[in-house]
Structure 1
Amino acid sequence: MAGAFPRHETSLEALRTRGRYRQMMPRDGHDFASNDYLGLAGSDVLRAAAADALARGVPVGAGGSRLLRGNDAEHQLLEAEAAAFFGTEAALFMGGGFNANQAIFSTLPQQGDLVLYDALIHASTHDGMRLGRAETRSFAHSDVTNAREVLQDWRKNGGRGQVWIAVEAVYSMDGDLAPLDELMALADAEGAVLVVDEAHSTGVFGDLGRGLAHGIAHRPNVLPLHTCGKALGASGALICGQRVLIETLINKARGFIFATAPSPLNAALVRAALQELQQNPDRRHQAWQGITHAQAEAGRLCGLEGFQSQILPVVIGDDKRTMALAAAMQGHGYDIRGIRPPTVPRGTSRLRLSITLNTPETVITTMFETLAQEMEAAQCPA
């Protein structure tokens, strides 16, 4: 008997055939897959913060949107502390980075404006742009010359509105860094706003982990977004910037107005994570020791070079070969995941190796020794 949703079943079967079928897996093996870069998610620091917050009577649930009764003192304390820490006029705490990017790009760029975005920008930005009313154009990845050309072409063809340049500080699948100095110069020259998604740089890059854009975050034409579910070990997101932009989001962003507020308890955990960045800089230094070690071992044992961050992509190309290699590494006790289109461009399926404080340097070395053997057996290019 045919299923009730034959088109969906056919679509899923096509994904299986192409090696793109996704399914959830339990946590198992040494962590080379998470974004818990500073090892805070399961740390005693956040456990103690949770216990303290509960003892102080901080609610577990918000009970409503921030504009109803869901606004808690912990939310407001976090926003004030985050604005001070990241160096901006104001901050807004939202439930997650995806929701925050949707809110930014569906609300702030107006009709007649242009969102000029990096070709590898996150899916959440694309969804926000689809919901918004501004024009959108992409530029080649991290190519500021091309960004300038696209912007000037838009102006030449009658574009007169505000330009919003959307980039990631550290790109989540390639691990490379945005050329922020050049992008800032372009934004200044063209009267544009630079929107910087710091999701994978918060806690890892910048003074005390303030992110790659910290030196420019105070400027009126810069809007940084810091997510709280990666290096900060909790969940949520902090949109930081000029007060007028934050107040516009509060008044007009549907993803803020109509959503139940994030847990006040979670806000307390993010506060504790920010305090840890300031009070224990050794945590970040230790993370970088592991990152530097991993980059060196990748080159020494696998011939893989050119990495710039804690994210080490091993591009295989073919979808099925990528997943087979990931499964082989998982069988050796290493939690390594394969990444396929549409998350990455066609023909660039890869292993995404994430280096965190959860994994000792000795394990990092043995992982690369094993990876070298498996890549050779599978005849994968180095």
Structure 2
Amino acid sequence: MMFADQHRDLATLTAADRYRSLRPRAGVDFASNDYLGLAGSDRLRGAMVEALARGVPVGSGGSRLLRGNAPEHEALEAAAARFFGTEAALFFASGYAANTILFATLPQRADLIVHDSLIHASAHEGMRLTRAACVQAEHNDAGAVEDAIATWRSAGGTGRVWIAVESLYSMDGDRAPLGDLARVADRHDAILLIDEAHATGVFGTDGRGLAEGLDGRENVITLRTCGKALGCEGALLCGPAVMRDFIVNRGRGFIFSTAPSPLMALAVDEVLRIVADEPARRERLWDLVATAARVLAPHGVAATGSQILPLVLGDAARTMRVADAIQRAGFDVRGIRPPTVPEGGSRLRISLTLNATVADIEALGAIMGEALQ
């Protein structure tokens, strides 16, 4: 039988209650990463319509090193470097692609990558391709990172150290101790890689993220994805110019990929202005965060101080039953199971966006109480 191995694997997933399928959107949005409601922004839509009318192409027609390097790509990268306060920026089609290329390209054979235990799957994909040694550190533990570096040095490690973390973790909603990690990087002549996917647009001055105070340093590289709070697609790697030049020359995933859409580059350029011009969006989001802390905490939902609120139920089957009951009541709350989260960590991931209202959160609280009984 063709694809016999794949059929067996799918049967195994089904037996383990891990089979996944795609389905249409339904219910009030408590699941997306469109935190500021920008994906449907009238201003963003208008910018796209105007760009199409004046002939900005949808497709790039080739890789950036061939004929795919459009003025819109270069304008976005210059604007992003100014906005985030870095020497340079480089635009990618997705955060997954950017992380994979970053980890596969920059660290070298004699180097060490110390990564947080909850780092994103895209970083792991890049580390599968890297020539550097990789070691995991306990979650949000700067001391564990420093211990890993010391152990590696004592065993004869001589190369560069790369410290890889997320500033805001997508399944737990907690923040990395960026100040402590920056000091570890300074003490060990290391480079700090910060994935700002879920913080960009939401935190910092004008939405510049949690790493705002570290941008522009020679030993810091940040990833800003554009498909979450920025409401678009793609990702920006921000850091020293040598980082940009090295990836352009050595990053196989960059060199041999068709360039992202010039139209999307223009959209991201516009949305950076929107997040700076419309602080009321962030203010409204924080009102929702405060409401959720009051309404949902009695049901066991963690008050994380961010827009991501987990309710860890542990058992995967129960998690999916509760999620199904909430969805049938008209609220799009998703159950998250291993391997996305650790074994025993199945949870509801409640995402607060401007696509929901205070009344929606209060209604969700009532439904959640019934579903958890």
Q: TM-score range by the shorter chain?
A: over 0.9
In structure 2, the partner of 1:98 is 96
In structure 2, the partner of 1:374 is 371
Which letter maps to 1:77? A
**More displaced stretch, 253-262 vs 290-299:** 290-299
In 2, are the aligned partners of 1:205 and 1:212 still within 8 Å (CA)?
A: yes
Where 1:16 maps in the other structure, the secondary structure is: helix
In structure 1, the partner of 2:355 is 358
In structure 2, the partner of 1:305 is 302
Cα distance in structure 2, aligned partners of 1:249 and 1:238? 13
In structure 1, the partner of 2:319 is 322
> Equivalent of 1:242, from 237, 240, 243?
240
Where 2:209 maps in the other structure, the secondary structure is: coil
Where 1:312 maps in the other structure, the secondary structure is: strand
- CA deviations on 1:346-376 (whole Å, 9 max, x unpaired) are 1111111100000011001110111122112
In structure 2, the partner of 1:16 is 14
Which letter maps to 2:211? A
**More displaced stretch, 43-52 vs 351-360:** 43-52
**More displaced stretch, 227-236 vs 320-329:** 320-329
In structure 2, the partner of 1:141 is 139
Cα distance in structure 2, aligned partners of 1:42 and 1:306? 28
Instruction: Please give the residue correspondences for 1:125-136 in structure 2 after superposition, counting only pairs within 5 Å.
Output: 125-136=123-134
Count of equivalent residues: 373
Pairwise CA RMSD: 1.0
> Equivalent of 2:72, from 48, 71, 74?
74
- Are 2:345 and 1:348 equivalent residues in the alignment? yes
Cα distance in structure 1, aligned partners of 2:289 and 2:207? 15
Cα distance in structure 2, aligned partners of 1:132 and 1:303? 40
Cα distance in structure 2, aligned partners of 1:248 and 1:72? 20
In structure 1, the partner of 2:41 is 43
- CA deviations on 1:221-259 (whole Å, 9 max, x unpaired) are 000000000000010000000000111011111111000
Where 1:84 maps in the other structure, the secondary structure is: helix
In structure 2, the partner of 1:271 is 269
**More displaced stretch, 24-33 vs 306-315:** 306-315
- CA deviations on 1:301-325 (whole Å, 9 max, x unpaired) are 4143341311111111111111111
Shift of 1:55: 1.8
Where 1:92 maps in the other structure, the secondary structure is: strand
Where 1:158 maps in the other structure, the secondary structure is: coil
- CA deviations on 1:181-203 (whole Å, 9 max, x unpaired) are 10011001111100000000000
- Are 2:127 and 1:117 equivalent residues in the alignment? no
Shift of 1:115: 0.5
Which letter maps to 1:362? A
> Equivalent of 1:333, from 325, 330, 335?
330
In 2, are the aligned partners of 1:104 and 1:128 still within 8 Å (CA)?
A: yes
In 2, are the aligned partners of 1:314 and 1:352 still within 8 Å (CA)?
A: yes
In 2, are the aligned partners of 1:232 and 1:273 still within 8 Å (CA)?
A: yes
Shift of 1:15: 1.1
In 2, are the aligned partners of 1:18 and 1:319 still within 8 Å (CA)?
A: no
**TM superposition score normalised by structure 1:** 0.96
Cα distance in structure 2, aligned partners of 1:341 and 1:286? 33
Where 1:76 maps in the other structure, the secondary structure is: helix
Which letter maps to 1:333? G
In 2, are the aligned partners of 1:18 and 1:320 still within 8 Å (CA)?
A: no
Which letter maps to 1:22? R
Q: Which runs of 5+ in 2 are unaligned?
A: none
Which letter maps to 1:160? T
In 1, are the aligned partners of 2:303 and 2:309 still within 8 Å (CA)?
A: no
Where 2:372 maps in the other structure, the secondary structure is: helix
Cα distance in structure 1, aligned partners of 2:124 and 2:352? 27
Cα distance in structure 2, aligned partners of 1:269 and 1:180? 30
In structure 2, the partner of 1:380 is none
Shift of 1:296: 2.1
Cα distance in structure 1, aligned partners of 2:170 and 2:319? 18
Cα distance in structure 2, aligned partners of 1:141 and 1:154? 19
> Equivalent of 1:294, from 268, 277, 292?
292
Shift of 1:6: 2.6
Sort the Cα spacing of 1:262 and 1:223 in 2 relative to 1 into closer, same or farther, 3 A. same
- CA deviations on 1:152-199 (whole Å, 9 max, x unpaired) are 000000011100000000001111000001001100111110000000
- CA deviations on 1:71-99 (whole Å, 9 max, x unpaired) are 11000000000000001000000000000
- CA deviations on 1:24-45 (whole Å, 9 max, x unpaired) are 1110000011000000011212
Where 2:101 maps in the other structure, the secondary structure is: helix
Which letter maps to 2:364? M
Q: Which runs of 5+ in 1 are unaligned?
A: 377-382
Cα distance in structure 2, aligned partners of 1:82 and 1:292? 31
**More displaced stretch, 354-363 vs 41-50:** 41-50
Cα distance in structure 2, aligned partners of 1:350 and 1:195? 28
